[in-house]
Structure 1
Amino acid sequence: METNWARLIKGVSTAAPDPRLHDVPVQFSCRVPDFDADKLLGSRLSWQLDPVSQFALIAAREAIADAGHDVEGWDAPRVGVVIGSCVGGAQTSAVQNDKFHDSGPDAVSAMFLPMSLVNMVAGVLSIHCNATGPNLLVSTACASGSTAIGVACELLLRDQCDIVIAGGAEAAITPLYVSGFARMGTLSRRNDDPTGASRPFSAERDGFVMAEGAGILVLERVEDAEARRAPVWARVLGYGNSADGYHVTSPHPEALGARAAAEQACTQAGISPSEVQHVNAHGSGTKLSDAVESRYIADYFPKAITTSTKSLIGHPLGAAGAIEAAYTAMSLRHQLIPATANLDPQDPAIEIDIAAETRPAAIDLAMSNSFGFGGHNAVLLMGR
């Protein structure tokens, strides 16, 4: 976490040429740097898990330790897990599909399904984190991570859990998925300039950069966290969820779904949208999505300083909302807004205050936006 945040506030992009994409139109991505699953999990466990579950488990263990919990000591039936993901074990599916076509059905691993089914991300956390309460995998495209956090809050408020491990994970950088997004025209084609490719809100944006990773948070009710003097990063004050009901890939041109979700979150928190001081935007870097989101931000959060951390880490699909919620919590704690890299020149039609450099700011209220294919919208309102 500390290394990740330090890279972020220094404006260090993770985008780089990707040798595993040499045969497809887009040949760069944002992979987790220097990732060694055997070192972090042990070789016996790591070989049983697709990278999506490896990412989630490593992040969950760090989050639990940071929260001051001991998984052997907590009341396991009162600990829930809610994880968001779009596609689950994409890398396992790709490998096993090749084995099937090259060598026939007997070459397919007996571990294929336990490693690749999307629900297994949540299941793995239950097994290895001693969490036997509600166990859910939510999939709302690129809003999945934020949706998972919202659902986790509802479990706490309904007293179904005392603790929820919540967030998102994704590991879908495969030639097939990259080719699919490229065919749709949603990916940047800057093969000669990977670090300059993710350009949210820039006049020169041409699509997003595929990424991977996980963001996991430990959620508790305020009174429970205060009773045990927990190290609290931030509070989730409101959550909103809606559908555009408009198009399978394009956002509603007036951002009606995003506005409805924001209204829900602000109403739940009992605040006016004009009080929000910071927005961690969905900001994917596509022409249409950034234009629509920026108009909604200008109307709803006129005093907010906006950033898109996807400019530095790329777009990790179903993990994006959870990672960005973590960044929003860290912005609230450190009173720092990470830069939106590659902004220059800012699109002149986008009339919002965007942090082009890491900016110190007095922030008490912040919004994290997440939107996904299918018209899914999820927003989280967070406070110090």
Structure 2
Amino acid sequence: MHTISGSHIAGLGTVTGYGWGTQALWAGLTSSKPAATLQPSFGASTDDPGWIVRVPEGGRAEDGTTRFARAMRAAAREAINDALSRGWTPGARVGLIHACVLGDLDMYPMVTPGSGGFTGRQYLSVTPSTPVSLLMSEYGFHGPTMNLSAMCTSGSAAMITAKLWLDSDMADDVLVVSTDLSATPEVVRMFVQLGVAITDTDPLNACRPFQEGSRGFTFGEAAVATLMTSQRGTDAYASILGGAMSHDAYHVTSVDPELTHVRRCVEEALQAARVAGSDIEYMNAHGPGTRQCDAAEGQIAQTVVPEAQLYAVKPLVGHCQAAAGAAELAAALLGYEHGEIAASPHIAQPSVDQLIDGRTPMSGTHGLTLKTSLGMGGHNAALVLAPA
């Protein structure tokens, strides 16, 4: 048995490679077709095209001059309006956590040597605090506010931190926004050189989490927002029962093969949620399709949550770095909402018997979900979701 905590997810907003809004994301996920397209200059050399997931142009001009600024504000606005339509009333202390890694790359030239010609006000747009402050000002929110960066676990870590704020009565509500629009040819090429990002073939051929022949992930972009509240009476998507974070302290790119702290992170998340591993019905994996992560999460699935059905959506939405965990969490929330798990399709022989095939929709999704995230450098995060 488990008790529902006071951390409810009452609103959701997304901007992904599928388009602007949660309807576009759900339509894309259930199509089982990747959001990636073949883009010029993203191949092995500057002259070659490559497969990439990029957020399309869109949003409101008044939200900013860059896709990053417009996407962040659009996702936040959709989450807030969604929560209001579901019965949420803002408390006196609405906080904001913004998960990001590289920030708004379009603004970086302002601080490079010899750039010059920019005003102090323009320089302010480079600082990570500015987008957060503008969003708080737009809505008149006065709760605690911060940026959070934990590499690929940033989105999940932000959700866990928001729950801590709610549980400790530091805030009445928390808007969590995860933004990563860093898919530039230069950044993507660095991940290709590291041997983890694949641009020379389509995502379903390259990225096959927990299946034979997987080579790595397709780089992606997204902005995802959730409105978390301790209020009861809202028509929430789900509740976060518990979560945990840890660090391998092992290697800057490699997962500790002993999995000591990955396993501890998951077990502590289950303990915080007051549930057993056998209570978990679904495991929404980090699932980048790399050999190390497949081995790590596959072992966790088989030994810690052996009754859970496993799925990953990175082949569809791409690896969205700071927004990765948030985009994958959004897939779980929409799955609860629509009563269907949207998973990546089987392309090759699965290495784990629990792996869901996205070509065969699963209905009746009412069980607990374990969301895991593994970040470069050794960051680990896990959280447990219960449907509303």
Same fold (TM over 0.5): yes
Q: How does 1:62-101 map to 2 (within 5 A)?
A: 62-68=78-84, 74-75=90-91, 78-93=93-108, 95-96=109-110
How much does 1:278 deviate? 0.5
Q: Which amino acid aligns with 1:359?
A: M
Q: How does 1:83-162 map to 2 (within 5 A)?
A: 83-93=98-108, 95-96=109-110, 104-108=114-118, 110=120, 113-162=123-172
Q: Which amino acid aligns with 1:355?
A: D
In structure 2, do the counterparts of structure 1 residues 382 and 269 end up closer, same or farther at CA, with 3 Å as the change threshold?
A: same
Aligned-partner Cα distance in 2 for 1:26–1:214:
24
Q: How does 1:205-354 map to 2 (within 5 A)?
A: 205-221=214-230, 224-226=231-233, 230-341=234-345, 343-348=346-351, 350-354=352-356
Partner of 1:377: 380
How much does 1:339 deviate? 2.0
Aligned-partner Cα distance in 2 for 1:369–1:117:
30
Partner of 2:31: 10
Partner of 2:18: none
| Contact map agreement 2:39 2:49 (CA 8 A) in 1 | no
Partner of 1:31: 54
Deviates more, 1:105-114 or 1:352-361: 105-114
Partner of 1:366: 369
In structure 2, do the counterparts of structure 1 residues 250 and 336 end up closer, same or farther at CA, with 3 Å as the change threshold?
A: same
Aligned-partner Cα distance in 2 for 1:131–1:26:
44
| Contact map agreement 2:293 2:374 (CA 8 A) in 1 | no
In structure 2, do the counterparts of structure 1 residues 173 and 189 end up closer, same or farther at CA, with 3 Å as the change threshold?
A: closer
Name the SS of the counterpart of 1:225 in structure 2: coil
Aligned-partner Cα distance in 1 for 2:98–2:362:
31
| Contact map agreement 1:206 1:286 (CA 8 A) in 2 | yes
| Contact map agreement 2:95 2:144 (CA 8 A) in 1 | yes
| Contact map agreement 1:305 1:355 (CA 8 A) in 2 | no
How much does 1:132 deviate? 1.9
In structure 2, do the counterparts of structure 1 residues 66 and 45 end up closer, same or farther at CA, with 3 Å as the change threshold?
A: closer
In structure 2, do the counterparts of structure 1 residues 111 and 283 end up closer, same or farther at CA, with 3 Å as the change threshold?
A: farther
Partner of 1:56: 72
| Contact map agreement 2:205 2:347 (CA 8 A) in 1 | no
Q: Which amino acid aligns with 2:379?
A: H
Name the SS of the counterpart of 2:125 in structure 1: helix
Q: Which amino acid aligns with 2:215?
A: D
Name the SS of the counterpart of 2:150 in structure 1: coil
| Contact map agreement 2:55 2:222 (CA 8 A) in 1 | yes
Deviates more, 1:131-140 or 1:250-259: 250-259
Partner of 2:15: none
Deviates more, 1:4-13 or 1:350-359: 350-359
Name the SS of the counterpart of 1:241 in structure 2: strand
Aligned-partner Cα distance in 2 for 1:308–1:276:
16
| Contact map agreement 1:332 1:383 (CA 8 A) in 2 | no
Q: What per-residue deviation string (whole Å, max 9, x for no partner) do you get for residues 228-260 of structure 1?
A: xx2211111111111112111111213222211
Partner of 1:176: 186
Percent identity (aligned): 28
Name the SS of the counterpart of 1:332 in structure 2: helix
Q: What per-residue deviation string (whole Å, max 9, x for no partner) do you get for residues 108-160 of structure 1?
A: 56555433333444333223232221011111100001111111111111111
User: What residue ranges of structure 1 are gaps of 5+ in the alignment?
Assistant: none
What is the RMSD of the two structures over their aligned residues, measured on CA atoms?
A: 2.3
| Contact map agreement 2:32 2:358 (CA 8 A) in 1 | no
User: What residue ranges of structure 2 are gaps of 5+ in the alignment?
Assistant: 1-21
Task: Select 1:21's aligned residue among 23, 37, 42.
Answer: 42
How much does 1:304 deviate? 0.9
Deviates more, 1:106-115 or 1:236-245: 106-115
Count of matched residue pairs = 361
Name the SS of the counterpart of 1:166 in structure 2: strand
TM-score, scaled relative to structure 1: 0.87
Q: What per-residue deviation string (whole Å, max 9, x for no partner) do you get for residues 302-351 of structure 1?
A: 1111111111000000101112222212222323111223x321344x44
In structure 2, do the counterparts of structure 1 residues 158 and 117 end up closer, same or farther at CA, with 3 Å as the change threshold?
A: same
Aligned-partner Cα distance in 1 for 2:24–2:228:
22
Aligned-partner Cα distance in 1 for 2:313–2:355:
15
| Contact map agreement 1:242 1:377 (CA 8 A) in 2 | yes
| Contact map agreement 1:16 1:195 (CA 8 A) in 2 | no
Name the SS of the counterpart of 2:380 in structure 1: strand
Q: Which amino acid aligns with 2:64?
A: S
Deviates more, 1:212-221 or 1:107-116: 107-116
Name the SS of the counterpart of 2:244 in structure 1: strand
Aligned-partner Cα distance in 1 for 2:258–2:356:
21
